[in-house]
Amino acid sequence: MRILFVGDVYGRSGRDALHKHLADLKSEFSLDVVIVNGENSANGRGITRKIADEFYGWGVDCITTGNHIWSQKDIVFSVDQDKKLIRPINYPKDTPGHGFYIHTIASGRKILIANVMGRLFMDALDDPFAAVKELLSQYRLGKNIDAIFIDFHAEATSEKMAFGHFVDGQVSAVIGTHTHVPTADTHIMKGGSAYQTDAGMTGDYDSVVGAKKDVPIARFAKKMSFDRLSPADGEGTLCGVFIETDDKTGLATTITPIRRGGVLQQA
């Protein structure tokens, strides 16, 4: 299975970068499935119904999120009906929405896509390790599911790495999101799961993690600012990873970082 995952889409520049490059990437890599983290796509916080539908129209198969899933109120009223827009699985059980989605590709094979949120320096959600252990007791790679992809949305690199090793060999890939900077540790772990601590942001990198520079600089340099953060609006870089899996085992055979457009070195 040939999978593209695109990291946190931030504001209009991120949406424009996704729209600009996605069709070419689908053709270049003969993709079976496209997964996008959209939790910052609406002006840097959350996602709207309109934006989610735009993503689907561009060829996105599943949208993951994170701690800003509820930042745009209109999404609360449709998230139960939209199974392709998922929120972290370790929210309390009565929370609206779905923590995972099973997508069927053209050949009939199925991929389980799960969204999980870390707890270190984040909201105090349910245990992400226990939540995924329960999920993986129901879906076994190479048995009743052909591929399993996990977006681990977390702040701490140590928590992301620990989680990657925790599920190594049981999933096709674990890719981190949330910190908006692509890490250089792209590899296949010993058990066969593809891993990267953070896919990076899809947005304008002439910024402070996606925001225009003046306000965050003032906050750090002067310890004061009365203005709100606003998304940088220069040309965005699409950041993500391409993953290919073995059809028999579901484990990863390839993981390659993707960077297209904007100021970052291309990959």
Question: Residue 145 pLDDT > 90, yes or no?
Answer: yes
Q: Nearest to residue 38, comparing CAs of 129, 153, 118?
A: 153
User: Given this model, what pLDDT does residue 223 score?
Assistant: 83
CA 107 to chain centre: 24
Confidence of residue 21 (pLDDT cuts 50, 70, 90): very high
**Catalytic residue chosen out of the listed positions 68, 153, 178, 180:** 68
Categorize the per-residue pLDDT at 86 as very low, low, confident or very high, splitting at 50, 70 and 90: very high
Residue matched to tokens 């990291």: 7
pLDDT at 10: 98
Q: What's the predicted TM-score (pTM) here? A: 0.96
For residue 216, what is the domain's CATH number?
3.60.21.10
Arithmetic mean of pLDDT, 96-125: 96
CA distance 172 to 112: 10
Written as six digits, the tokens of 115 are: 């969204």
| Structural domain contains residue 40 | yes
pLDDT digits (tens, 9 = 90+) for 241-252: 999 999 999 999
Helix 11-29 crosses helix 49-58 at what angle (to 10 degrees)? 20
267 part of a folded domain: no
Count how many domains the chain has: 1
Using a pLDDT cut of 90, give the percent of the chain over it: 91
At residue 148, the 3 state secondary structure works out as strand
Flag whether pLDDT at 9 surpasses 90.
Answer: yes
Of 52 and 78, more confident: 52
Query: Could you list the residue range(s) of the whole structural domain that residue 208 is in?
Result: 2-260
Query: Is 178 an annotated catalytic residue?
Result: no
Identify the pLDDT of residue 222. 87
Across the chain, mean pLDDT equals 96
User: Token digits for 199?
Assistant: 């896919």
pLDDT (average), residues 17-35: 98
Determine the Cα–Cα distance for residues 233 and 163; give it in Å rounded to an integer. Answer: 34
Q: pLDDT-based confidence at 133, cuts 50/70/90? A: very high
Q: What are phi and psi of 61, to 5 degrees?
A: -95, -25
pLDDT digits (tens, 9 = 90+) for 192-239: 999 999 999 999 999 999 999 999 998 889 887 777 889 999 999 999
**pLDDT one-digit tens code per residue, 148-197:** 999 999 999 999 999 999 999 999 999 999 999 999 999 999 999 999 99
| 51 is a domain residue | yes
Average pLDDT of span 81-106: 96
- 43: in domain: yes
* pLDDT at 267 exceeding the cut of 90: yes
